[in-house]
Structure 1
Amino acid sequence: MLTPDTIRALTSWLVTAADPSSFAAPGTPAVPPSAAAPPDSIAASYSSGGITDIDDVEPPYTLLVLHDGDAVDAPPGTRCLATVAVAIHPVIVGSYRRGLIDLLPDLAAALAPSGHGAALRPNGLSALVRRRAAEALTGVFTPPQAGMRLLACAIAYDDVHTGTGTGTGPSTGTGGSEPILMVRRIDAVDVDGRVYQAVRLPGAHATVLVDDEPDPLDTPATYAGLAALLAAAVAHTTATPATGG
């Protein structure tokens, strides 16, 4: 069970991470330099399918994996968050009829340990792409340092937002509908099953909604895929401990 302090730290991290510049500025406290320029990407895993290089397009989709553990060179009992960010090429997401909703479960199936019976849809990942995706994700979900624990899995993306019911969108002054805005969203699921939804409107700080007891009928569309990916990561790291071999 995560402590209240850990939940608050995760929520605070989401506020910062919802700013796209977090992943373009090495040294940002919430995103270590290694996360700002990750060595792997889901795009690289799909290179055999003719996908263009990840540098050719500004990737609007980012898979985020969080671990926490004792901070190095800090007083005993001090803990820190460590983040790895992995770009997902928009062409990959666009190849799925429902985008992220269909892609995330396929990534979970690719990561599932052999023999667990995880099945991909007939038009999902090929065997080669599945293997390459599993290799990339294995590194992403491996704790960055000994003693760290997997904390949460998240997906950051751009989305169309009308501002309806948020009270944070600018008023049109006409008493009519809210303007349509492009916003940054991060959906996250932690190891206790909580759901986090961060939304950052243009020119504003992100707001974060934390749901301790998520209703399956009232969760982000990415929830099922994120939960499956997090569960697969836990099973995968348990089945393949770091033994150095």
Structure 2
Amino acid sequence: MLSFPDVHALTSCLAAADADADTRGWGQPITLLLLHDGAPATDEAQREIRSLEFPLHPHDALADAAGPAALLHHIADELDGPATPYQATLAAIVGMIRVATPNARLLAWAACYRSLQPVDRRLRQARRVDAVDIDGRFYQLTRLHGDDHPVVLVDDTPANDAPPTYRGLVALLAAGVHFTQTRPRVGLRMTSTGRKPRSELDEPIFGVCGPDGASLRCRICGAVDEVTVTELPSMAGYGEDTSVRCSRCGSAETTDPIFGWRAKPATWPPLPPHDQP
């Protein structure tokens, strides 16, 4: 269960997301956020809560007029079904989080969207940031157009009359947890030379090691914390292409919205150079 400081930090992270949305104006489409914790600066410090945007396909980002709840259920179905681009996107995000903080926890999903709020018998534009954490707690920040600060609601036990986004976020949270916990791992076979074959692409290249799993170890060559991470806008037109590469042997894990997660192990030990004539 999340502690009171965790809930407070998560609420502050959502408030920061609302402030960031305010700087971008009121015409923005719906935005999804995945919230996780990071490593504390010291043993006594509270773990920092961070948010990462979960990129939407342009068609989905512009289709929120049908309602944010419907979109949340749609993405939950995509994460819980056969291989889809959204599964590749989630795998990429989780991979990036675990590279930076191997023992990070995925804490909540959030949606930032436009709405209308009845005020004094008339409707006013509003922006909401709704979230559900791993304990089922519901958060809602509502900022009326022209207001300096949002109104914050944190409901530990949401009732049946909770907004439709609550049930959509619960479905998204469950689908995301199921996906990250059941992602298949296929063991590597060894060749007759004792080297790991390049054709085995399903085994992860990197694993955690060290005290509290704070370091990242290349399973091909054994290098620890020698990684290079790159992120580029995907050629698919949405999401990102990512690469985590071992600086020592060149093995890499890559992700993209079309082909998903892939491992590219290098030959190790490297083959000796041929003698020159």
List aligned pairs for 1:101-112, cutoff 5 A.
101-112=69-80
The CA distance in 1 between the partners of 2:22 and 2:95, in whole Å, is: 22
Counterpart for residue 38 of structure 2: 69
Counterpart for residue 205 of structure 1: 149
Q: Please, which runs of 5 or more residues in structure 2 have no aligned partner?
A: 186-202, 206-262, 264-277
Counterpart for residue 19 of structure 1: 19
The CA distance in 1 between the partners of 2:134 and 2:71, in whole Å, is: 21
In 2 relative to 1, CA 214–20 (structure 1 residues): closer, same or farther, beyond 3 Å?
Answer: same
**TM-score for both structures, normalised by structure 2:** 0.58
List aligned pairs for 1:69-108, cutoff 5 A.
69-71=38-40, 74-78=41-45, 79-88=47-56, 91-92=59-60, 95=63, 98-108=66-76
List aligned pairs for 1:108-147, cutoff 5 A.
108-112=76-80, 131-142=84-95, 144=97, 145-147=101-103
TM superposition shift of 1:161: 1.1
In 2 relative to 1, CA 23–193 (structure 1 residues): closer, same or farther, beyond 3 Å?
Answer: farther
In 2 relative to 1, CA 183–152 (structure 1 residues): closer, same or farther, beyond 3 Å?
Answer: same
Counterpart for residue 119 of structure 1: none
Counterpart for residue 10 of structure 2: 10
Query: How many residues align structurally?
Result: 181
On the 8 A contact 1:61/1:90 being kept in 2, the answer is no
In 2 relative to 1, CA 189–112 (structure 1 residues): closer, same or farther, beyond 3 Å?
Answer: same
Q: Describe the SS at the equivalent of 1:214.
A: coil
Answering whether residue 105 of structure 2 is matched by residue 155 of structure 1, we say no
Instruction: Point out the more displaced range, 182-191 or 136-145.
Output: 136-145
The CA distance in 1 between the partners of 2:54 and 2:66, in whole Å, is: 20
On the 8 A contact 2:111/2:129 being kept in 1, the answer is yes
The CA distance in 1 between the partners of 2:176 and 2:153, in whole Å, is: 24
On the 8 A contact 1:183/1:200 being kept in 2, the answer is yes
Structure with more of its chain in helix, by fraction: 1
The CA distance in 1 between the partners of 2:71 and 2:126, in whole Å, is: 21
The CA distance in 2 between the partners of 1:21 and 1:92, in whole Å, is: 19
Structure with more of its chain in strand, by fraction: 2
In 2 relative to 1, CA 22–83 (structure 1 residues): closer, same or farther, beyond 3 Å?
Answer: farther
On the 8 A contact 2:29/2:61 being kept in 1, the answer is no
Answering whether residue 133 of structure 2 is matched by residue 190 of structure 1, we say yes
Runs of 4+ in 1 over 6 A off after TM superposition: none
Q: Which has the higher contact order (CA 8 A, sep 6+)?
A: 1
In 2 relative to 1, CA 83–99 (structure 1 residues): closer, same or farther, beyond 3 Å?
Answer: same
TM superposition shift of 1:10: 1.0
The CA distance in 1 between the partners of 2:117 and 2:33, in whole Å, is: 22
What's the CA shift string for 1:105-130, capped at 9, x where partnerless?
1211211265xxxxxxxxxxxxxxx7
The CA distance in 2 between the partners of 1:203 and 1:104, in whole Å, is: 27
What's the CA shift string for 1:161-184, capped at 9, x where partnerless?
123xxxxxxxxxxxxx34422111
What's the CA shift string for 1:134-155, capped at 9, x where partnerless?
2123323446121100010000
Residue identity matched to 1:62? T
On the 8 A contact 2:54/2:89 being kept in 1, the answer is no
Residue identity matched to 1:105? H
**TM-score for both structures, normalised by structure 1:** 0.65
TM superposition shift of 1:189: 0.2
The CA distance in 1 between the partners of 2:143 and 2:65, in whole Å, is: 26
The CA distance in 1 between the partners of 2:111 and 2:75, in whole Å, is: 13
